[in-house]
Structure 1
Amino acid sequence: MAFTFKPYTPAAKYKTAAAYFSMEFAVDQALKTYSGGLGFLAGSHMRSGFELKQNLVGISILWTFGYYDQDRDAEQSMRAEFRHKHYSFLEDTGIIFPITIHGADVQVKALYLAPEVFGTVPMFFLTTDIPENDYLSRTISHHLYDPDSAARVAQSILLGVGGGKLLDELGRKTDVYHLNEGHGLPLAFYLYEKHGRDLAEVQKRLVFTTHTPELAGNEERPMKLLTDMTFFGSVPEEEVRRVARIGHGDTLNYTLTALRFARKANAVSKVHGTVANEMWGHYEGICPIIPITNSQNGSYWRDPQLAAALKAKDDAALLARKQELKKDLFKIVADQTGNVFDPNVITIVWARRFAAYKRADLILRHFERFVELASSAKHPIQMIWAGKPYPKDFGAVALFNEIIKRTAGLKNCAVLTGYELGLSAALKKGSDIWLNTPRFPREASGTSGMTAAMNASVNLSIADGWIPEFCRDGENGFLIPIVDVTLPDNVKDDSEATALLDVLENSVLPLYYDQPKNFLKVVKTAMKDVEPEFESGRMAREYYELLYKA
C-alpha cells in the first residue's frame, strides 16, 4: 500500500508549513540518533511542536550504528562499541529516490516516525543502507559524524538534498526550510536550482540556526572536495563562488554560506547573539542574526511528583521525592562503579558532551583541596561525572579516562558511562547541584541546566550561554566568577578552579547543610523561574513568530 502523509490538523496560528533539518534528534532513549546537546535541543523542539500542533516536520538521518555505545574495557577505561540498531516503530514509507553524490546516483529510503509514537511532530529519517546501493554508498548513513571528510560531505548531501527531495516526493508544500546548524547546507543549493537559480527565492524560504561560538567549530571544507562530491548539485563552481561570495578562496564555510542564503538566522542565547554578530556581522551579504534561546521540553523532562509537590507548596513531599530520586540514581552508581552513595550527602553532577572547552576536570584542578573539601566530616560531597566524548576526539577520551583514574580511590566519586537520554534524566533528578564549567564565551547555550532546574537540582555555573538570562546568584542558582577572557587558558583555569571551590566551600555547602530551609528556597525558586521561559514551548512559538513568518 502506498504511503500517504496525513499528520494531525495544525493549529490555525501555526499553519505556515515548516520543515526542520537536523543531523541528530534525541526524542526517546529507544531511538539512538543523537550525540549531545544539539540532538537534545532538536528532540525537545519536535515534542513542543507536537504539543502546540505546529505545521512542522522533522528531517534527519537514520544512523545504522547510532552514535556509539559507551562501555568500559578491563581497566575500566572508556570503550566505544558500534552495534547495529533496529527500530520496529519506524514505518517504511516505501519511498526510494535517487540523489547525486560524487557524480553518481545514490538511492535514499525514507522511514517515518508517526506523532503518536513518542509525541513529536511527524518525522522522517533517511537511509542509504539499503540493498539498492553499493557498499560504499550504504556506509554514508552508518555513523553519525563520520570522521572521514568525504563521508561527512556525503552525509550533508543526504540530509540537505535528500530531505529537500523527500518533501517534493511527498508532495508537501513547504513554506519555510529550517537548517539546524550548517550540516544540511546542500539544501540551499537544492532550493537554488529548484527556484531558477534565484538567490532571493531561496532567501524567502530558508532560515538557519547557528550554535557554535568559535570559528573552528563551524564546518569548513575545501572547494575542490565539495565540487568533486557534487555538494552544489549542477550549479557550476564559478556561480557558487559568485553567489556564495567566496571569490577565489580555497574553502567554503558552511555557517557563513548559510547566513548568505537564509532570510533570517538565530543564535541560541542572548550572549551567543552578541558573539555571533561579532563573528559574522562584518561579512557582506549575511542575513540578520537574532537570539532565540534554546530550551527543553518540560513534559518529557520534569518529574511529575516533584512538579506536583512544588505546585501544592508541599515541602515535605518535595524533599521526600528528591530523596527517592537520589536513591534511584545511586543504584546506577553502585551498579556501574561499586560505590555506595548516601542520599543525605550533597551530590554534584557534571554531565554533558565531553569537549576540552567544557572543562570536566576543573573541579579537580586543585586536587588536594578538592579531596579535603569532599571528605569533610561536617560538609561532605559526592561527585558524579558522565558524558560521551566524540570517539575520535582522543584528547576528550583521554580526559574522560583520566578522571576515572584520578578518582578511582575516592569512594564518594563516580564516573558513569552510557550518557544518553535515560541516564541524563536520572542524573538531573538525582543530583542536588548541576555543575557547568565552560570557558567563557564558548558555550553558545547549554540546556542541561534547564532540565536539572526543573527537577530540583540547582545550577552552579560559569555565567555563559543561557545562564546570564536565568541565574540570580544565591537566589535560584550559584555563579562561579570568571576572569579576564584575554588571559591564557591555564591562568583562567587556575583562577576559575579556585573560584569554583571557594563558592562551594563558602556558599553552597554551608547553605545545604546548615540552612536547609534556605537551600530549599533556592531549589524552589529555580523550579519556578525555569518555566515557562526555558521550556521549549516558548522556543517553538518564537521560531514561528520571529523566524518563520516572512
Structure 2
Amino acid sequence: MSLSNALSTTTAALNLPSRTIAYFSMEIALAPAVPTYSGGLGMLAGDTLRSAADTCRPMVAISLVHRRGYFRQCLDDVGQQTEADVPWSPEATLPSANEIITLTVQGRPLLVRAWRFDVVGVTGHIIPVFLLDTDIEGNDEWDRHLTDHLYGGDTYYRLCQETVLGLGGVALLHALGCKPHVYHMNEGHAALLSIGLLEEHLAGNSLRDAQEIDLEAVRRQCVFTTHTPVPAGHDQFGLDQMYQVLGHDRATALEHFGCLHNGLMNMTYIALRFSRYVNGVAMQHGKVSQLMFPNYKVHSITNGVHAATWVSPAFQELLDAEITNWRTDNQYFRSVYGIEPAQIAACHLKGKQHLFEVLAKRTGHHFNPSVLTLGFARRVATYKRASLLLEDATRLVAIAEKIGGLQILYAGKAHPADNAGKGLIRDVFAAAAHLNSSALKIHYLENYDWELGALLTQGVDVWVNTPRRPYEASGTSGMKAALNGVPSLSVLDGWWIEGCAENVTGWAIDDAETETAEATCLYDKLEKHIAPMYANPAAWARMQQHCIAINGSFFNTHRMLAQYFRNAYFPFTTTDNATSPSSPVNEPAVGALLNEPALA
C-alpha cells in the first residue's frame, strides 16, 4: 500500500451513508511509511481492512493519527534497547475529512479533526480510514498532544486518548452523515464509543435517565473482539480518573450499568456489557476468554492475514500465472496442489536470498541460503519466551554441528516500560556472543517493523513460536510464514492448535511441566524431524506446498471477515451476550447500498 493510494477520491464520493460497519481500533497498520501501529493488533486491523477493500465490504474505520508514531528501536552492541520517535506529517500526505467536532473531555471543550487514508482494494473498492487528531489551534496545549504517541504516556493520558477514539469516532462519523448499523470494537480501547451511542440514543436526555432498555438499544449495534488473555492487555483506570476525564454523568452511567471490575474502570468490561456479540481470536482463545468472563457468552473467530500483503513477490508472480482468482478468493490457495512442488521451493528460495541480501546491507553479516534458518520475531514480552530456543546451549551447538549448520534470526521490540522484555533482548545478544561459530549463527535484528516482518516470514525456513500457554491469543506471524511455504515449530497455543498437522504443516512443541522439558522437545523435533526433512529437498518442497494449500487457504482475513459478517455483524439469529434477549440483526442489501457487487 503506497501513500499515493491513500489519496484516491473525495470524501463525498465515498458514499459514507451506505457504510454499515464501523471498525474502531487504537492502531491500524495502513502503510509501511505511516507509523500508526505497534505490532500484531495493528497489523490484524490493517489486514482486515485490506480484505474488506478486496471483497467490496461496506465498511469505514476509525483510529488515531499518532503523529509521533510508536517508536523506532535502537539496539547497542549488548542489546540494550533505546527508543526514538517516528514523526510524520499527515498534513503533507493525507486529505482532511473537512470536519471538526467538539467533545467535552476533562471538563473542557476538545476540538477533534481527522485525516483520511483510503485503503484501496484489488477491484478499486475503497475503505476510508479516519485518523483522529487533536493537534488543533484552540485546544489546550496539553490536549494538542493527545494523539501524538501510540501507547505512550501514563494512564491518565491513555484514558484521554481512548475517550477521543470512542466518543470522537462516533461524533465524527455522525457529523459526516455516516450512521453504521454495527460498531466493531477491535479490543477494549474503543469501548467508550458505547457511551457516545448511548448519548445519541437518549436524544438530549441526561445519561442519568438511561435505563436497561437504552443499554439494550446500544448493545444491538456493538460487536467486541478481545485479543489477549494477559491481564496487562486489559486497560483499567482509577475511578478518580474516570470522573475527571469523562465527567460526572458519563462516569455515573458506567457505574450504574455495571462496567467496573475490582473497583476500577475496566475497558474490557465496558465493551462486554455494551456488546451483543463477543469473540476471541482463535478457537482456544475463545475458550480461555469464556473462563475469564463467565457471565458473558464468548464466541471465537480465528484471525487471519491479508494474503496479497504478505506473499512474496516471487510467489505472487507464480500465483497470478497459475491461480488467477486468488486475490479476491483465498480459498483458491487449495489449488496450489496443481503446481509442481519444485516451483514452490524455487519461489521460497528467491525470498530467502532476498532476505539475506537485505540483511547483508543492513548489518554487514552474511548468511548462507543453503543452511537451515529459523526465524523468531514478535513483540518481546516475557510470556513469549524468546530464550527458550537457547535453553540448552550445549545441545543447540551439537545439533548445528551435526546437521551441517544452523542460522537463527531474532527480531522484536520490547515496550519502553517493559524492563523484563528488554532484558530478554540482552539475553539473546549475550547468547549469540557466546555461541556464534562456523556451525551456529544467531543474530538479533534491529527495529522489527512491517518491512522486516515481511522479509523474515518470506525468507526463513522454519517459523519458531514458544509462548507460555495459554497466553498466546492467536499469533499471526506464523500465518504469514505459512503463505510463503514456511512451516512452524510452535507450542500448541493460539492459531497453531488449528493449523498444526504434524510433519505436514509443521511441528508441535509438547506442553510440559518445565521449560527444560519443553526445550528438550523443541531440540528433538529440530534434530530428528526438521533437519532430516530439510536435507531431502523433495520432501521439504512438498511440506511447503502443504503449508500454502492447507493453512494459507484458511488463515486469511478474507475468510475471517466473511465469518464476522455471517456470525457477528449480520447473523440470522443473534446469540445474546448477557441475560436479556436480543432481536435478530438483518444484513442490508450490501450491493444495493454500494451500487456494486459484494464478494464473499
Q: Equivalent residue for 1:207? A: 223
CA contact (8 A) 2:341 2:542 kept: no
Find out whether 1:344 has 2:357 as its counterpart: no
Evaluate the alpha carbon distance shift between residue 498 and residue 421 of structure 1 in structure 2; reply closer, same or farther with a 3 A threshold.
same
Question: In the TM superposition, what whole-angstrom CA distance separates every residue of 1:421-458 from its partner, at most 9, and x where no partner exists?
Answer: 11101001110000011011110100111110001211
Q: Secondary structure at the match of 1:93?
A: coil
Q: Secondary structure at the match of 1:319?
A: helix
Residue 263 of structure 1: how far off its partner (Å)? 0.8
Instruction: Tell me the distance in 2 between the aligned counterparts of 1:541 and 1:234.
Output: 40
User: Which residue of 77, 81, 105 maps to 1:78?
Assistant: 81
Instruction: Tell me the distance in 1 between the aligned counterparts of 2:53 and 2:84.
Output: 33
Question: In the TM superposition, what whole-angstrom CA distance separates every residue of 1:250-285 from its partner, at most 9, and x where no partner exists?
Answer: 21222122111111111100001111111101x3xx
Q: Secondary structure at the match of 2:96?
A: strand
User: Which residue of 296, 301, 306 maps to 2:310?
Assistant: 301
User: Which residue of 6, 13, 21 maps to 2:13?
Assistant: 6
Instruction: Tell me the distance in 1 between the aligned counterparts of 2:554 and 2:378.
Output: 22
Instruction: Tell me the distance in 2 between the aligned counterparts of 1:221 and 1:499.
Output: 42
Find out whether 1:112 has 2:112 as its counterpart: no
Higher mean displacement: 192-201 or 431-440: 192-201
Residue 378 of structure 1: how far off its partner (Å)? 3.4
Evaluate the alpha carbon distance shift between residue 407 and residue 187 of structure 1 in structure 2; reply closer, same or farther with a 3 A threshold.
same
Evaluate the alpha carbon distance shift between residue 21 and residue 245 of structure 1 in structure 2; reply closer, same or farther with a 3 A threshold.
closer
Amino acid at match of 2:182: V
Structure 1: gaps (5+ residues): 485-491
Find out whether 1:250 has 2:263 as its counterpart: yes
CA contact (8 A) 1:306 1:456 kept: no
Find out whether 1:97 has 2:123 as its counterpart: no
Instruction: Tell me the distance in 1 between the aligned counterparts of 2:352 and 2:304.
Output: 24
Find out whether 1:57 has 2:60 as its counterpart: yes
Residue 160 of structure 1: how far off its partner (Å)? 0.3
Higher mean displacement: 460-469 or 312-321: 312-321
Evaluate the alpha carbon distance shift between residue 32 and residue 429 of structure 1 in structure 2; reply closer, same or farther with a 3 A threshold.
same
Q: Secondary structure at the match of 1:40?
A: helix
Q: Equivalent residue for 1:185? A: 191
Q: Equivalent residue for 1:502? A: 524
Q: Equivalent residue for 1:446? A: 475
Instruction: Tell me the distance in 2 between the aligned counterparts of 1:516 and 1:190.
Output: 58
Q: Equivalent residue for 2:342? A: 316
Instruction: Tell me the distance in 2 between the aligned counterparts of 1:3 and 1:321.
Output: 40
Q: Equivalent residue for 1:29? A: 32
Residue 242 of structure 1: how far off its partner (Å)? 2.0
Find out whether 1:122 has 2:123 as its counterpart: no
CA contact (8 A) 2:185 2:191 kept: yes
Amino acid at match of 1:518: A
Q: Equivalent residue for 1:167? A: 173
Instruction: Tell me the distance in 1 between the aligned counterparts of 2:278 and 2:79.
Output: 44
Higher mean displacement: 83-92 or 270-279: 83-92
Residue 373 of structure 1: how far off its partner (Å)? 2.0
Residue 399 of structure 1: how far off its partner (Å)? 1.2
Q: Equivalent residue for 1:153? A: 159
CA contact (8 A) 2:22 2:60 kept: yes
Amino acid at match of 2:409: I
Residue 73 of structure 1: how far off its partner (Å)? 3.7
Q: Equivalent residue for 2:445? A: 416
Evaluate the alpha carbon distance shift between residue 144 and residue 261 of structure 1 in structure 2; reply closer, same or farther with a 3 A threshold.
same
Evaluate the alpha carbon distance shift between residue 168 and residue 357 of structure 1 in structure 2; reply closer, same or farther with a 3 A threshold.
same
Amino acid at match of 2:159: V
User: Which residue of 195, 200, 206 maps to 2:201?
Assistant: 195
Instruction: Tell me the distance in 1 between the aligned counterparts of 2:287 and 2:460.
Output: 32
User: Which residue of 239, 249, 269 maps to 1:235?
Assistant: 249
Question: In the TM superposition, what whole-angstrom CA distance separates every residue of 1:17-50 from its partner, at most 9, and x where no partner exists?
Answer: 0100000111221111111110111010000001
Amino acid at match of 1:235: D
Amino acid at match of 2:367: F
Q: Equivalent residue for 1:397? A: 422
Amino acid at match of 1:258: A
CA contact (8 A) 1:64 1:129 kept: no
Amino acid at match of 1:6: A
Instruction: Tell me the distance in 1 between the aligned counterparts of 2:40 and 2:142.
Output: 29
Instruction: Tell me the distance in 1 between the aligned counterparts of 2:13 and 2:375.
Output: 43
Q: What is the aligned residue count?
A: 529
User: Which residue of 467, 472, 491 maps to 1:462?
Assistant: 491
Evaluate the alpha carbon distance shift between residue 392 and residue 258 of structure 1 in structure 2; reply closer, same or farther with a 3 A threshold.
same
Q: Equivalent residue for 2:327? A: none
CA contact (8 A) 2:242 2:251 kept: no
Amino acid at match of 2:12: F
Instruction: Tell me the distance in 2 between the aligned counterparts of 1:215 and 1:73.
Output: 31
Evaluate the alpha carbon distance shift between residue 543 and residue 73 of structure 1 in structure 2; reply closer, same or farther with a 3 A threshold.
same
CA contact (8 A) 1:379 1:509 kept: no
Q: Equivalent residue for 1:218? A: 234
Instruction: Tell me the distance in 1 between the aligned counterparts of 2:251 and 2:82.
Output: 42
User: Which residue of 68, 75, 78 maps to 2:71?
Assistant: 68
Question: In the TM superposition, what whole-angstrom CA distance separates every residue of 1:53-89 from its partner, at most 9, and x where no partner exists?
Answer: 1110110001011101112346563321113212443
Residue 529 of structure 1: how far off its partner (Å)? 0.7
Note the aligned Cα RMSD (angstroms): 2.2
Q: Equivalent residue for 2:207? A: none
Evaluate the alpha carbon distance shift between residue 496 and residue 147 of structure 1 in structure 2; reply closer, same or farther with a 3 A threshold.
farther
Question: In the TM superposition, what whole-angstrom CA distance separates every residue of 1:280-322 from its partner, at most 9, and x where no partner exists?
Answer: 01x3xx3x32110010011111125335275662333333332
Structure 2: gaps (5+ residues): 1-8, 203-209, 320-335, 571-584, 586-600
Residue 516 of structure 1: how far off its partner (Å)? 2.3
Q: Equivalent residue for 2:279? A: 266
Residue 246 of structure 1: how far off its partner (Å)? 4.0
Q: Secondary structure at the match of 1:354?
A: coil
Question: In the TM superposition, what whole-angstrom CA distance separates every residue of 1:313-369 from its partner, at most 9, and x where no partner exists?
Answer: 233333333222212111233234332110000110001111111111110111222
Amino acid at match of 2:270: T
